[in-house]
Amino acid sequence: MAGGGTTKAARFLFASPGGDRGVGAEEDRTARADFSFPAAARITASGEIRDLFRRGKRRKTRHMDVFVSPSPAAFPRLGIVVPKHKRTIVLRNRLKRRLRELGRTILLPRLREENRPLDVLIRVRADAYDASFEDLREQIRELGEGLCSRR
């Protein structure tokens, strides 16, 4: 940025919020920063999603196709695609919420810890609608381990 300013994403990753609210407040702010999911860490633009489908390296889990590419940002980003697969909107939204939560609490923090600035796009297959939360969690955890072990 011109003038030495910082982006929202950089502030999210590196800056600590100002003010002092007591001894436990710093731990609370740190925990929130580690597990937040700001707009800068999301892949939502259709052009970026299309590029990841085309150019991203594809990996498969039991219920997901995952496309991975180096991030143009200095931090990892996550996109989630949940096709309808003839399911109700309630089920689709539940699956999206579950995946967002797992990406926010497991995948993105792991990639940040390992300093892996990757764009990760998760596209679920129809059988993901029937998967348990624990099964999805295990797949996301394994995905994070796999992405961090490759250099």
The pLDDT value given to residue 36: 77
Please give the Cα distance from 32 to 27 (Å, whole number).
9
Q: What is the mean pLDDT of residues 120-138?
A: 97
Quick count: other Cβ atoms within 10 Å of Cβ 143? 22
- Which CATH number is 42-146 given? 3.30.230.10
Q: How confident is the model at residue 27 (pLDDT cuts 50, 70, 90)?
A: low
The pLDDT value given to residue 34: 62
| CA dihedral sign, ordered 68, 74, 80, 81 | negative
